[in-house]
Amino acid sequence: MVKLCVGCSSIEDLAAWVDFRLAELRLAGEKPEQYHITRMVPKKIDELLDGGSLYWVMKGNIQCRQKFLDIRPFTDEEGIHRCKLVLDDKIIPTEWQPRRAFQGWRYLKIDEAPKDDLNGSKNRLPPALRQELADLGLL
């Protein structure tokens, strides 16, 4: 699954947000789990939970992913159906892949998913330089 990471412009921003949210949950005495709430419930839950990941788009590029741990549909206090996407708090950098802006989330075919950037070589560049190189089509 692929989704825009609104409010984060880099993997570092996302990691800081995850750390902040987990600390907030611990202070509130709640289970510290990383999750994202969405309005729509995925139809392919079994496929997503069988090794699937949420690929995050930041600044026009897929930059990283987080593995799905659980998908929990629920109804909020206003009676609106929503879905909690529970994610591994480990953020896995990927090769950058350009993506146009879109609303909500989209399924991502396995053969279209960017590969993990296991050695992290591209991610050693400062975020502004990485973005400039990506804008030029060099990453």
Give the integer Cα–Cα distance in Å for 19 and 48. 24
Q: Does residue 117 contact residue 93 with C-beta atoms inside 8 Å?
A: yes
pLDDT at 104: 87
Average pLDDT taken over every residue of the chain:
90
pLDDT (tens digit per residue) in 16-75: 999 999 999 999 999 999 999 999 999 999 999 999 999 999 999 999 999 999 999 999
The whole domain housing 95 covers 2-135
CB-facing half-sphere around the CA of 5: CA atoms within 13 A: 27
Contacts of 134 (CB under 8 A, 6+ apart): 59, 60, 61, 96, 98
pLDDT at 120: 61
Is residue 128's pLDDT more than 80?
A: no
Is residue 121's pLDDT more than 60?
A: no
How far does Cα 96 stand from its chain's mean position? 13
Looking at the 3D structure of the chain, how many domains does it have? 1
More confident of the two residues 69 and 126: 69
Reported as type and span, the H/E element at residue 77 is none
pTM score above 0.95 = no
